[in-house]
Structure 1
Amino acid sequence: MTDLLTIQGQADVRGSRVLSQLISDGVCRSAWHADRALSTNTTALDQIHKGELLPTDCPRVFLADIQTAGRGRHGRQWISETDNLAVSMVVDAGEVASPSAKLLPISVGVAIAQAIEHQIAPMRVQLKWPNDIWLNNSKLAGILIERSSVAPELAVVGMGINVGSAPEQAVSLMSATGRPIDKLEVLESIIIQVSDIMKSHDDHVINEFRSRCLLTRKRITFQYHGMDRSGECLGIDEHGRMNVQTEDGMTTIESGEVSLVRF
């Protein structure tokens, strides 16, 4: 069992208070907070590899005020300054009966969307399969889920949200709403929603995703068995897989990169 709350460096006191409250409320069992980190996912994986993070410590939240070498999917870099949110949550997927493990990326996307919509109502967030969150037709946040062979039952759920600023061709909550957004309020809401959705039924998660799906009825491009393909997105099935109508018939995609065709 690790310390309930580990603080490193000159971490923002307000952030530590939020984490402490989440632990007290039973939303998570432990947390790690630093003023700066290369990557919250990397820190979490390192603790798992060293045997410092056990299932009894989970859910465990990792928060960095500044992330300097975060990772997105396919090795893309995700740098988070002080006005943005870089957080990882380690969950014991073996304890999660519903939603099923294959729905984890979709479940987390729905949870982030619900948390953000609570902050910016009545605006609605869209979800781009498999794990991006969009707002105003631009990327707002991303999810990266990783596991370690040392403890494959533990899923490291990395989340990056553009709160106060965004890279080119992306959007932040502040630019979309025209007002300052407290990233720690976003943090608290997201961790609560992720924790709650782990208790939801699969059909609820699927329906919530479908209601926000960015790609449904849109023309998309994708890779299938190493080949570039295109077609009309028909949405996700009950297993969270993407169905696409191509000129050769319907194709079901379990994972991979999907792009919206812009005219």
Structure 2
Amino acid sequence: MLQQPQPNRWSARLSPPLRVNNAAPSIWPDNVARHILDRVDSTNAEAFRLAPSLTGPAWIMARKQESGRGRRGRAWTDPPGNFAATLVLRPAGGPSDAARLSFVAALAVHDALKTLCGPSLNIALKWPNDVLLNGGKLSGILLESTGAAGQVATLAIGIGINLAAAPDQAAVESGATRPVSLLGETGLTVAPEDFLDALAAQFDAWHRQMLAYGFAPIRSAWLARAAKLGETIVARTGGTETTGRFDGIDETGALILTGPRGRHVIPAADIYFSGA
């Protein structure tokens, strides 16, 4: 689930919208820096540029991201009002340990949305790193890293959320989950800065759980919020397609499918739902 960064020096609006303003203020985590920028090429790229000067974890948010990207180098559309931010960390351990932080990030996005918009919001998590609203793709998470000798030196956890607008269906690949926005689905508006506050607090809480108790509670919480658990889905990796019942994730975060030929453990794939 980890990807190496691209080459660089580090290698229809509803009317009237209802602005969310009744949630309790989030407490910013201790010893975590915050950088809010007007415009960047990519928040992940900016994270790697800033990393040498950072003394600890830092969130980097851009009001406008001009060259955002998702998994496998896919373009990520980022119109004004949407959320684009990256958390940069220096985690202990290797790539497999760092990769499990994508589940922490997904839980944080899920719970931040519920905190700001209410518990009835129909949010679910799609393996490996998407967040769904009413069955459509609201958010994507991209992990990139640098390091050597089996260790991760710097980890960038990029998070994009369609708060205000979503790309047209024609702009996404055939069969992909339809894109949606928070505003378009609910009529609610959330300022990116407000979402960052809630997200940072939720990530910190879940990360502390993982540091204290390991991946098991993260795995359980993620599965409790998972889309299509127990249902038939399709996993595609390159030219290989596997269809089976989604039975969960293992202790590494790999997908578990059960099909006619038995159990499949899949570390990386694109997932497709019937009728998506």
TM score, norm. by length of structure 2? 0.77
Separation in 1 of the partners of 2:123 and 2:216? 20
Aligned residues: 233
Cα distance in 1 for residues equivalent to 2:130 and 2:31: 24
Shift of 1:195: 1.6
1:32/1:179 Cα in 2 relative to 1: closer, same or farther (>3 Å)?
A: closer
Aligned equivalents of 2:237, 2:189: Cα separation in 1 = 42
> How far does the alpha carbon of each residue in 1:148-192 deviate from its partner, in whole angstroms, 9 at most, with x for none?
137823210000011111112311111222232232221110011
Distance 1:184 1:142, change over 3 A: same
1:215 alignment partner AA: K
* Aligned-pair CA distance for 1:27: 5.3
Distance 2:75 2:99 in 1: 25
Q: 2:222 aligns with which of 209, 221, 224?
A: 209
**1:111 and 1:194 in contact (8 A); partners too:** yes
Query: 2:8 corresponds to which residue?
Result: none
1:261 is aligned to 274
1:93 Cα deviation after fit: 1.2
Alpha-carbon distance in 1 for matches of 2:184, 2:77? 18
Aligned partner of 1:198 in structure 2 is: 207
8 Å Cα contact 2:231/2:246 also seen in 1: yes
SS of equivalent to 1:206? helix
The one-letter code sitting in structure 2 at the alignment partner of 1:75 is G
Whole-Å separation in 2 of the counterparts to 1:68 and 1:224: 29
Query: Match for residue 12 of structure 2?
Result: none
| Residues 1:46 and 2:59 aligned together | no
1:213 offset after TM fit, Å? 0.7
Structure 2 equivalent of residue 11 of structure 1: none
Matches within 5 A, 1:54-203: 57-94=55-92, 100-121=97-118, 122-149=120-147, 152-168=152-168, 169-200=178-209, 201=213, 202-203=215-216
CA contact (8 A) 1:105 1:143 kept: yes
The question of whether the paired residues in 1 share the 8 Å contact of 2:237 and 2:270 is answered with no
Q: Secondary structure at the match of 1:158?
A: strand
Gap runs ≥5 in structure 2: 1-26, 169-177
Per-residue deviation, residues 89-112 of structure 1 (Å, max 9, x unmatched): 01221189xx94342111110111
Q: Name which of 212, 234, 248 aligns with 1:235.
A: 248
| Alignment partners' CA distance in 2, 1:180 and 1:62 | 21
TM-score normalised per structure 1? 0.81
Corresponding residue SS for 1:71? coil
1:197-225 superposed Cα distances (whole Å, 9 cap, x missing partner) = 11113222111111111131222222358
In structure 2, C-alpha distance between the alignment counterparts of 1:207 and 1:95, rounded to whole Å: 22
Structure 1 stretches of 4+ with a deviation exceeding 4 A read none
- Structure 1: runs of 5+ lacking an equivalent: 1-20
CA RMSD of superposed structures (Å): 2.3
Distance 1:95 1:190, change over 3 A: farther
Cα distance, 1:61 vs. partner? 1.1
> 1:218, 1:260 within 8 Å by CA — same for their partners in 2?
no
C-alpha displacement of 1:78:
1.1
Distance 2:188 2:142 in 1: 28
Q: Is the 8 A contact 1:65 1:81 kept in 2?
A: no
Deviates more, 1:170-179 or 1:222-231: 222-231
Q: Percent identity over the alignment? A: 27
- In structure 1, C-alpha distance between the alignment counterparts of 2:166 and 2:239, rounded to whole Å: 32
Deviation track 1:43-69 (CA, whole Å, cap 9, x = no partner) reads: 112334xx334xxx2211111110010
Q: CA deviation at 1:146?
A: 0.4
Contact 1:40/1:64 (8 A) holds in 2: yes
Deviation at 1:226, TM superposition (A): 4.6
